[in-house]
Amino acid sequence: MDVTTPSLERAIGIELYLTKTPGIGGKIRERIDDFCVEEITNRREGAEGRYLIVELTKRDWDMHHLVRTLSRALGISQKRFSWAGTKDKRAITKQKMSIWEVGAEELQRVNLPGVELRVIGRSNKKVALGDLWGNNFQIIVRDMDTPIEIVRERVKSITGEITLAGGVPNFFGVQRFGTLRPIMHLVGEALVNGDVEKGALIYLAKSSPQEPEDTRTARDDLLKTRDFKLALKRFPTHLRFERAMLNVLARDPVDYVGAFRAISVELRKMFVHAYQSYIFNRILSRRLKMGLPLTSAIPGDIVCFTNAGLPDISRIQRTTDDNVDGINNLIHKKRAFVTAPLPGYDSQFAEGTAGEIERYIIDEMRIELDNFRISNMPELASKGRRREILSSVLPVTTIDQAVTLRFSLSKGSYATIVLREYMKK
């Protein structure tokens, strides 16, 4: 396996590639329509209900910005909108959305560039995360610096390796950690270990070379001075979450818990989840380095079974010498998946060789599982869970002067993890 992964990926726990074939390089998102995502759901809408259900197609819109704009156009609260998954901004995306107590005729007032709202029906059940099964992707890679004949050979070889493996490792992609500033897991680690001050300073003051110069300067100066009042004046207005925390710290420079509670509990939980995701990536990387398979279990592994064709982490079983053949038969039929832990205070760990790998990373990182109770912010506590280690994907490719990849992923899996195997960049 090729282990020359970029430093950014190593920083989030991704230490190797599945495929051995050299990558094609290139760039994605050169154009908005180079990245298309369509939601997969099993919802069936009717003609009655208090929710209006629409199919939203958006082009180059951030979801939260769009909802704020729609709420103003319709004269209703943002809380009346609901959807299953937040899609990429620089892309063309299609998904279902529900709007509480709105008539179809009212949508005639909406005329936004790059936005189409098509009425599907009505329902008494809002669109929610549980409705999301997965996503269909069509992604174009351009500007490869390799001759197109070699690109064709490499794409064919990589697709063959992925097909033989049954998919790609189900790593968490960089979006989980912060695309421009991948520090979410570092904040989460500090919060789990009870060092709220450290977590706040990482979030507020750890700059990234990918950020605008005025943002980097404001963060760097705050790290040096700890002057929260001055930072509040200098931080750009678009950094809403940082400014909310700075407002608290400008009044009380040691109220770090209060500063974190100035932002939503959902965002705070994302810090903890990112830390768990980093640990998962490290465990999965080590499992691959040790040569353990993705598509079959060994005694001691914990597997999850499927529900309606999707991995269901609430249904797990430990593999033993007695049942390993039967479980592997289910895995080969895509009715079960090997899992690895997202650790928490009540984690279940594998046994045997797989368990040794999981414990090695836990011990190496000096993780105290009971710390996931997060005593100073118990609302962020996490008991932990398991996650499947394989993302079943069979990419279909078209090659002209660019490479077009089409594939489907279950919810929670990242298109960038498929792309990295082809681009290796």
- Catalytic center residues: 88
- Which stretches does DSSP call E strand in 174-289? none
**If we measure between CA atoms, which residue out of 298, 286, 302, 276 comes closest to residue 412?**
276
Residue 402 to residue 160: CA distance in whole angstroms? 19
Residue 388 to residue 42: CA distance in whole angstroms? 22
DSSP state of 173: P
- The helix/strand/coil state of 351 is coil
First CA to last CA distance, the chain: 15
- The helix/strand/coil state of 300 is coil
Return the structure tokens found at 120.
């599907």
Give the residue carrying structure tokens 């932002």: 263
Cα angle for residues 203, 227, 180 (degrees, 5° grid) = 25
Please name the residues in contact with 108: beta carbons below 8 A apart, sequence gap of 6 or more. Answer: none
Q: Which residues are paired to 403 by β-bridges? A: 141, 399
Q: What is the DSSP string of 6-68?
A: -HHHHHTT----S--SPP---EE-SSGGGEEEEEEE----BS-SSEEEEEEEEES--HHHHHH
Cα-based torsion angle of the residue sequence 336, 337, 342, 347 in order, rounded to the nearest 10 degrees? 50
Residue 250 to residue 259: CA distance in whole angstroms? 10
Residue 407 to residue 256: CA distance in whole angstroms? 44
Q: Phi and psi at residue 10, in whole multiples of 5°?
A: -60, -35
Residue 3 to residue 415: CA distance in whole angstroms? 20
